[in-house]
Amino acid sequence: MKKDDMTGISYPKLFCFLILIFILITLPGCWNRRELDTLAIVLGAAIDKLPGEEKVRITAQIINPSAMQSSQAGAMSADTEEFVNFSETGTTVFEVARRITTFSSRKLYWPHNQVLIFSEDLCKHGIDNWIDYFIRDHETRLRVRVLVSEGEAKNILEEKVTLEKVPAREIGEIVDGLAVTSIAPQTTLRDFLCRMLEDTGAPVAPLISLKEKEDGKEAKISGTAVFKKTKLVGTLDPFESRGFLFVTGKVQSGIILVKCPDSEDLASLEIINAGSKIIPAINDGKLSLTIKITEEGNLGCQMCGSDLTKPQTWQFLETEQNKAIMEEAMASVKKAQALRADIFSFGEAFHRKYPLRWNELKENWDEHFANLEVNIEVESHLRRSGQITQPPHHE
């Protein structure tokens, strides 16, 4: 054998090495290779409880790429829908998801799933068995948005939407858009799971429902679904929902309506910044809790004619704003105490501050929570009045 002077490798060995590499590459044979046109890309899934023993119906909304093709195939795509809903019933999620391939030419592909909608009915019976698959499987993502539907979840995915091509995407965008109204929490599967696993776990999810309109129906966020551990126990209306978000410091933006000083007309204030601090305390064995909410707002719009930027009226607006926030926050606390669901993670606050006493508190936390004395302090400011100071119709 001739040795290469530089490398000391003999040629036959080198050839063999190359052949081995070639075999190594080709024999596994493109393992797990999937072309784009073999995938049924799931953009949304709805899970409904069916009457009967532990039966579930899964509706997967997948895109129909050939209808998505722009320009060239225009004529063809006019009468085909951009999405297809596949529904199948069964007893476990995985089995159902797999069985969909018996009537679909493509296999469900989950990573791009945008929304996971559970029906109210299913949630009341306990959600844990139905999210197991979505947490366990490697293809599904914890970033998927979780929603609870009033009525059947499948119907939500079937309503046609106008701006987006696929309803699931539209719903996903609506959930993202909650940031500007803060009337419901934005919950991903990960958030939901984290809250569920806490000692005092009371996860929440936005509530979605179909509302009638002139031509057909449209899906709309209508509040917050409150879970206790794994079971749905009640709902918060938009007013209470924002109170909940104020308490937890998750308000990003929103509009607060307050009365003008001298009339019954309203002014709307835009929330530009909000935060909160939860301070638990135990005095003589009695549990109490102070919530400090800070907020900053701008004057967004006024319906009355008076000049609101004068110091005394400005002050008045700030006080009104304080009151409004206080009311919202209080309402949410009252509602949660009534439901005995610690959606604010007050328990965790106590746990952090009194780690040694937590074990005993934990035993009876529902009782403690329901009877918890909650003080709310709101410190809010109005900063700017927009691009004008006086209203255009000011006398």
Partner 1 sequence: MLMFRFFFRKLNYLTGLLKTKKHPKHENSGKTEGTDDLKFHRSLNRNLALIKSTLGESSDLILREFSFGSEPRINAVLIFIDGLVDKTLINESILQPLLYDTRLVGVDKEFSISGMKAITRRMLAAGEVELTDKPDEAIAHILAGDSLLMADTNSQALIINSRGWKTRSIEDPETESVVRGPREGFTETLLTNTAMMRRKLKEPGLRIESFIIGKRTRTDVALVYLQEIVKPGLVEEIRQRLRRIDTDAILESGYIEEYIEDHPFSPFATIANSEKPDAVAAKILEGRAAILIDGTPFVLTVPMLFIESFQSAEDYYSRPYYASLVRILRFLSFFISIMAPAVYVALTTFHQELLPTPLLITMAAAHEGVPFPSVVEATGMIIIFEILREAGIRLPRPVGQAISIVGALVIGEAAVSAGLVGAPMVIVVALMAISSFVIPAQIDAGTIMRLVLTVLAGFLGALGISIGLLFFLIHLCSLSSFGYPYLSPLAPFSPSGLKDVFVRVPFWAMLKRPYGLSRYNGLRQKPGLMPSKPSNKK
In angstroms, the CA 395 to CA 254 distance is: 30
Taking the least distance from each CB to partner 1, the nearer of 61 and 200 is 61
Strands (E), 284-364: 286-302
Is residue 109 at the binding interface for partner 1, with CB under 8 A as the rule?
yes
Kindly write out the interface string for residues 169-198 of this chain, putting x where it contacts partner 1 by CB under 8 A and - elsewhere: x-----------------------------
Helix (H) / strand (E) containing 313: helix 311-339
Is 68 a binding residue for partner 1 by CB under 8 A? The answer is yes
Q: Which of 5, 8, 37, 216 binds partner 1 (CB under 8 A)?
A: 37
Instruction: Tell me if 63 contacts partner 1 by CB under 8 A.
Output: yes
What is d(CA 261, CA 299) in angstroms, rounded to the nearest whole number? 14
Residues facing 60 on adjacent strands: 45, 86
The two beta strands, 266-283 and 286-302, are: antiparallel
Kindly state the tokens that stand for 300.
């967004």
**CA of residue 254 relative to chain centroid, distance:** 17
User: Which candidate, 269, 339, 341, places its Cα nearest to that of 299?
Assistant: 269
Stretch that binds partner 1, among 22-30, 189-197, 275-283, 301-309 (CB under 8 A): 22-30
Least Cβ distance, residue 31 to partner 1 (angstroms): 8
Q: Would you count residue 33 as binding partner 1 (CB under 8 A)? A: yes
Q: Is 300 in the site for partner 1 (CB under 8 A)?
A: no
- In this chain, which of 17, 18, 34, 301 binds partner 1, going by CB under 8 A? 34
**To the nearest whole angstrom, how small is the minimum distance from the Cβ of residue 147 to partner 1?**
17
Regarding 42 and contact with partner 1 (CB under 8 A), the answer is: no
Phi-psi category of 183—alpha, beta or left, where left has phi over 0 and alpha has psi -120 to 50? alpha
User: If you search the block for the tokens 């009534």, which residue do you land on?
Assistant: 338
Q: What residues make contact with partner 1 under the rule CB under 8 A?
A: 1-2, 11-12, 15-16, 19, 25-26, 28, 30, 32-37, 39, 41, 43, 63, 65-66, 68-70, 72, 109, 111-112, 114, 139, 141, 169
